[in-house]
């Protein structure tokens, strides 16, 4: 079993799901430490060796700075954090689509084009 951060190739081999969950919570807490407001909408995805996601840990669920809130208010903050994360994912996907479109147009015109961005192919394989 491998616990890893989404969108990277970083991983740690762990013996079982429970250990992976505890380790992932520790990693999320460490990443969030003293930056709760800026990282509250983040999420840590945990994958098995075969690249199948087995669970995710929303940082807002672990945020100790929210402990003083009522359950209702905490749920609202967690919901808003999911919305912010969804919006950021959509913006990221739109930027990737824009880069791919510009590259395809340049390629079709025989012009230089962006082939990779941070090690990822810009033009997706069909």
Residue 5: the pLDDT is 45
Residue 4 corresponds to which tokens in the numbers above? 């890893």
Does residue 126 carry a pLDDT above 90?
no
Quote the pLDDT of residue 118.
Answer: 84
pTM for the whole thing? Answer: 0.76
Opening angle at CA 65, ends 61 and 70, nearest 5: 70
pLDDT band at 2 (very low <50, low <70, confident <90, very high): very low
pLDDT 10s digits, 28-67: 999 999 999 999 999 999 988 778 899 999 999 999 999 9
Q: How many CA atoms lie within 13 A of 98 on its CB side?
A: 6
Distance CA 123, CA 102 (A): 10
Question: Which 3 state secondary structure label does DSSP give 34?
Answer: coil
**Contact status, residue 107 vs residue 99, Cβ threshold 8 Å:** no
Give 106-122 pLDDT, tens digit per residue: 999 999 998 998 888 89
């Amino acid at each position: 079993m491998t616990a890893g951060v989404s969108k990277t190739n970083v991983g740690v081999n762990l013996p079982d799901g429970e250990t992976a969950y505890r380790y992932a919570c520790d990693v999320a807490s460490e990443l969030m430490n003293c930056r709760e407001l800026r990282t509250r909408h983040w999420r840590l995805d945990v994958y098995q060796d075969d690249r199948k996601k087995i669970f995710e840990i929303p940082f807002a669920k672990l945020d100790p700075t929210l402990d003083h809130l009522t359950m209702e208010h905490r749920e609202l903050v967690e919901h808003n954090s999911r919305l912010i994360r969804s919006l950021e994912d959509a913006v990221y996907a739109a930027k990737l689509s824009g880069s791919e479109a510009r590259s395809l147009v340049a390629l079709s015109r025989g012009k230089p084009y962006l082939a990779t961005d941070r090690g990822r192919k810009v033009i997706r394989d069909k």
